[in-house]
Structure 1
Amino acid sequence: MAISLALKAIAIWIAILMLAMANGFLREFVLMPRFGTPAALVLSGLLLSALILGVAYLSLPWVKPEAPIQYWLVGFGWLALTLVFEFSFGLGQGKSWSVMLEAYSFKGGNLWPVVLAVTALAPYLAAKLRGWL
């Protein structure tokens, strides 16, 4: 049962990753040229947070966590996968740790820390919205 939950959670995280990449393209090629960097970062962060919460809400019936702790495990699993992906991708591009860690501040309208918090909390919040908890 735990392996099935983990595999489903990973599959959903891959979908979230694809949405995050599309959101990044939208931010870079549409929002930034039209609104400037600070506004684009805020809009992109809010959009990605909403998308993550929406995916969690829609996917919960498929995942079927059986206990409240499983909502937290899925959310923090998504957070861990995101962090591993982000730092691995950054290191692969030759970025320094200091450059990569700049994304974890609210500098210039950046909402990445909020997106990470939503990622961790999304399954629990989605279950609350569904009235399951």
Structure 2
Amino acid sequence: MIALKALVIWFAILVLAIANGVLRESVLVPGLGTPTALIVSGLLLSALIIGVTYFSLPWLHIRRPVQLWAVGLGWLALTLVFEFSFGLLQGKSWPELLEAYTFKDGNIWPLVLAVTALAPYIAAKLRGWA
């Protein structure tokens, strides 16, 4: 049951990530330029991930560190599979896909991935559970 609930939460995070991407491309990039927009967008998405996790953690009914880590690493794996699959379906090359995993030109995607993996533990800490 925890895995199914964690999957539902990940889908909510995915929807927020897509909305964040739309906001970034339609508002932030034109207004701030690409490097600053990438930083702001990455920080916003990280905050959204932690926020969703914080509010959904009681629904998951987990407190043991191993469960928190399992959910976070599961979300990381789902995110990576989604990102690479979606990119490949769009016809992007492996070098293009891997470019997102650098800190070039304001890109903080690797930090967002770290937040994704750590979010359940961070949320539990914020709640005073871990």
Structure 1 portions without partners, runs of 5+: none
Which AA in structure 1 matches 2:96?
V
- Please point out which of 32, 36, 42 is paired with 2:33: 36
SS of the equivalent of 1:104 reads coil
Instruction: Supply the distance in 1 between the matched residues of 2:63 and 2:50 (Cα, whole angstroms).
Output: 19
Which AA in structure 2 matches 1:6?
A
Equivalent residue runs for 1:24-103 within 5 Å: 24-103=21-100
Normalised TM-score (structure 1): 0.97
Deviating above 3 A after TM superposition, structure 1's stretches of 4 or more consecutive aligned residues are none
Bigger drift between 61-70 and 38-47 goes to 61-70
CA RMSD of aligned residues (A): 0.6
Bigger drift between 118-127 and 58-67 goes to 58-67
Report the CA distance between 1:68 and its aligned residue. 1.4
- Please point out which of 6, 9, 21 is paired with 1:9: 6
Q: What percent identity do the matched residue pairs reach?
A: 72
Which AA in structure 1 matches 2:69?
W
Q: How many matched pairs?
A: 130
Report the CA distance between 1:66 and its aligned residue. 4.5
Instruction: Supply the distance in 2 between the matched residues of 1:66 and 1:122 (Cα, whole angstroms).
Output: 13
Which AA in structure 2 matches 1:98?
P
Structure 2 portions without partners, runs of 5+: none
Report the CA distance between 1:57 and its aligned residue. 0.3
